[in-house]
Amino acid sequence: MGTFKIEGGAPLKGEIKPQGAKNEALQVLCTVLLTPQKVTINNIPDIIDVNKLISLLRNLGVKVEKLAHGSYSFQADEVNLAYLESEAFKKEGASLRGSIMIVGPLLARFGKGYIPKPGGDKIGRRRLDTHFEGFINLGAKFRYNEEDHFYGVEADRLKGTYMLLDEASVTGTANIVMAAVLAEGKTTIYNAACEPYLQQLCRMLNSMGANITGIGSNLLEIEGVETLGGCEHRILPDMIEIGSWIGLAAMTQSEITIKDVSWDNLGVIPGTFRKLGITLERRGDDIYIPAHTDGYEIQNYIDGSILTISDAPWPGFTPDLLSIVLVVATQARGEILIHQKMFESRLFFVDRLIDMGAKIILCDPHRATVIGLDFKSKLKGILMSSPDIRAGISLLIAALSAKGTSTIQNSDQIDRGYERIDERLIAIGAKITRID
């Protein structure tokens, strides 16, 4: 279990470039199983969760070649399906939430897909019903071994159909799309997720020979094809990391430029941080944040009532950034209500912030009211532990703004989602020591 030691209060300055998007990487890496031809993917983040998936693909028999930092080629022309029923796979697949997305491609191409019950962050209940109901709608037979917590779907040939998803699940939509591209006939998916990373997946599949229309909307239409070919694809910059660096700049009152952010794919993220009073300037495809030496003030609604920021499916505000908004609000002028609708355990890290001196009322598992300190009272460094990726980065930002020394145990959780985070932050002035 890793540990970060942080000396807070140091001003930061400089440029930082976001890594490739973790959530996109976990989707597009699974597409390589849909074709025997070579697929090249660029801007892959070098993080624990993504590397676990690459390792899983290798163990499935996919030929993996590292071409350069962040660039790999994959060729799934000799897939070892027997590995899916091995004890090694049960252990490896269970350690990674994203492993669920290999099921759709395997089912479409080979007629069967298995997966152990995936693990991942302890952020609340994340059911898999959408994935498997989609496969069943396409004609697959479902089975579940309760003793081994092992899921399976099988079909001789999937058949296109109409389906209305009961939730706009990003990974569920991705999995169903990857299954449907090789199904016989037309598949219509209504209430589909439409996040930029899902759009990227659909465009990549089209470049491989799929026929998907409605990309960017919640109504996808897929005409099944017999086979898919190879392609080259580049992953978008990680919008969650971009939002994290916006919050970092504001909390540490630092002048930071975030490079190559793909502005057109950020949706409401810049506007949401502006509601907190944070100044953002677009410079080409970069975000420039000046040092907020006079602080920042939360906007109220036009009738004077307290601002509420909540998460929602795209194009709403992503739940992965609510913890960042909450931390940033602790030093704002004004008050705000944070409403985490999608996960019931993601706000439980606020007790650490309260221990640091933040004024937060945890109303229930989904809502927290934050009363900003306006930098009149600095947070103080404490010993704490990272419960998950997003809470971990939020606590790291709090520690960098705090007075004194903080120690964050279980920092491996942060490494699961952020590439070389200590090195990149040290390069702009942060005082972080990694203790392994």
By the 10 Å C-beta count (0-12 exposed, 13-18 middle, 19+ buried), 264 is classed as exposed
Q: Which residues are tagged catalytic?
A: 121
DSSP summary character for residue 265 = G
Q: Is 364 strand, coil or helix?
A: strand
Q: Are 161 and 187 in contact (CB under 8 A)?
A: yes
Q: What is the DSSP string of 410-433?
A: -THHHHTTSTTHHHHHHTTT-EEE
Q: Are 15 and 257 in contact (CB under 8 A)?
A: yes
Q: Is 48 strand, coil or helix?
A: helix
By the 10 Å C-beta count (0-12 exposed, 13-18 middle, 19+ buried), 88 is classed as exposed
CA within 13 Å, CB half, 185: 10
User: How many CB atoms neighbour CB 406 within 10 A?
Assistant: 26
Is 342 one of the annotated binding-site residues? yes
Is 23 one of the annotated binding-site residues? yes
Q: Which of 401, 403, 411 is nearest to 433 (CA)?
A: 411
The H-or-E segment that residue 75 falls in is: strand 71-75
Q: Is 144 strand, coil or helix?
A: strand
Length of the chain: 436
229 bridge partner residues: none
User: How far apart are alpha carbons 25 and 238 in whole angstroms?
Assistant: 10
Is 66 one of the annotated binding-site residues? no
Is 206 one of the annotated binding-site residues? no
Binding site feature residues: 22-23, 97, 320, 342
Binding site feature residues for UDP-N-acetyl-alpha-D-glucosamine: 97, 320, 342
Binding site feature residues for phosphoenolpyruvate: 22-23
